[in-house]
Structure 1
Amino acid sequence: MSRLARSLARSSPTWSLPAPARTAVLALGAQSALALCYLWATPAGLSTPAMLAVPFVWVTVAAVAVRHARRPAGSRRVRWLAAGVGVAYALGLAWLMGGISPTTGATSGVDVALLPPGWGPALRYRGAELSLTLLPYRLVGVATLGYLLSLSVRDVAESGLSAGLGGLFALGSCAGCALPLVAAVGGALGGAGLGLGAAPTIGGGTYLVGTAAYLLAVGLFVSRPGRYIVR
């Protein structure tokens, strides 16, 4: 290589994707590979493009948020308290979404519904008191929202409400919790049920509304107005 070429190579600016974008690309690649394996190994079919996109959006956003959200330190007691709040919220969200419900009828057992990728494989369990319907993308999304809420709780504990707007904004970001709940109730009223043995449908757009609410909630949790995404 000539001296001029080496000089140009050293002086040329290097460019790379931001870290969150790289995480998103990796998450999309992993999901695509898993979806192809799932379709190859099972008789599960495909759905409409919009329905297929919903799980990819939820899981990709979850991966980026969990990987790059700011993690306040906090004492062990604060971390346990925050984790408890996050778990309680996730369970409440799963209940309103229909993932957890009281058992109706006398039958019990476990089965797997081979729904389209992301929606399936859906694990369904019916016990004496409770029934569970676990769709992969919603399981990831609900767990992510619970985890992000726990980070917000730790942020408030770290900054303190008396510290000013930073703590207040961090607490106020929890208003995003209500958005997926409203969408979930709307989906239930619209008849877009889950775990009924049939492939899910748009149900008048309730799943798309739920996805928009999920994105907004994750954005509020991650940004925690006055805080910023890092690394």
Structure 2
Amino acid sequence: MTRTVSAPAWSVPAPLRTAVLALGVQSALALAYLGLTDAGLTAPTMLAVPFVWVTVAVVAVRHADRPRVGRVSRWIAGGIGAAYALGLGWLTGAVGAAANAGTSADLLLLPPGWGPLFRYSGSQVALTLIPYRLVGIVALGYLVSLALRDVVDEGLSVGVGGVVALGSCASCALPLVASAAGALGGAGLGVGAAPTVGGGTYLLGTAAFVLAAWVLAARPLRRYTWR
């Protein structure tokens, strides 16, 4: 009697498939952006920063565990997450108080991911929206809301991973503030200029963002399974 032994099935992990897809879409959009505008390229290291942020944000949001909670708990967690994103945007300079009484808006065609950078100044609010950073801040706010569902649904002792994640994520704002300060001051991302590494603050901010996104998505102090 002959017995057939089949090799174990092998498949690419879902997060890796998502990362490859995200990189492919970003590459296509970047090529189209470069072809349709006069935006130039920058140093490979700085060009990679937006790709890392967006890819990590997409993977974290797509594969983060979503605890099932009631509608009220979901709205509370969502509201806190939105407030967190708004606060992080304020700290990094994406949102701020208007410096001038008039209203103005412009679009800077910086390298892919860094641009198109949208700036707006109204009577009350000023916006400086760098595409990759906007994606990252929104993703962190959403991940914070998911982490808070653990605390709301399972209690503080069981959902302590979410609390630890919040502390870890808050620390990521520090290097982001430094890089934003350099950008707005012209040291890192001047008006009409390509971004350059200024004291490594952008790279430090990227490393902190990756760590914060992982902690918030995986919440390692609780049982977690990629889906």
Q: TM-score, normalised by structure 2?
A: 0.91
- Aligned partner (choices 19, 22, 32) of residue 17 of structure 2: 22
2:224 match: 228
- Considering only CA atoms, is the larger Rg found in Structure 1 or Structure 2? 1
- Aligned partner (choices 127, 130, 133) of residue 135 of structure 1: 130
Q: Percent identity?
A: 55
Query: Unaligned 5+ residue runs, structure 2?
Result: none
1:180 match: 172
How far off is 1:188 after superposition?
A: 4.7
- Aligned partner (choices 197, 201, 215) of residue 191 of structure 2: 197
* Amino acid paired to 1:192: A
1:213 match: 208
Single out whichever of 34-43 and 220-229 deviates more from structure 2. Answer: 220-229
Aligned length: 221
Confirm or deny: 8 A CA contact 1:90 1:143 kept in the other structure: yes
Confirm or deny: 8 A CA contact 1:192 1:203 kept in the other structure: no
* Amino acid paired to 1:38: Y
State how far apart, in whole Å, the 1-side matches of 2:135 and 2:18 are: 16
1:125 match: 120
* Amino acid paired to 2:15: P
Q: TM-score, normalised by structure 1?
A: 0.89
State how far apart, in whole Å, the 1-side matches of 2:142 and 2:161 are: 18
- Pick the structure with more helix per residue: 1
State how far apart, in whole Å, the 2-side matches of 1:85 and 1:73 are: 17
Confirm or deny: 8 A CA contact 2:108 2:118 kept in the other structure: yes
1:72 alignment partner, SS class = coil
Confirm or deny: 8 A CA contact 1:102 1:131 kept in the other structure: yes
Map 1:23-172 onto structure 2 (within 5 A).
23-161=18-156, 164=157, 166-172=158-164
Confirm or deny: 8 A CA contact 2:100 2:121 kept in the other structure: no
Confirm or deny: 8 A CA contact 1:70 1:229 kept in the other structure: yes
Confirm or deny: 8 A CA contact 1:169 1:226 kept in the other structure: yes
2:107 alignment partner, SS class = strand
State how far apart, in whole Å, the 1-side matches of 2:63 and 2:129 are: 26
State how far apart, in whole Å, the 2-side matches of 1:204 and 1:227 are: 38
Superposed CA offset, 1:96-125 (max 9, x none):
111112212344222111010001111111
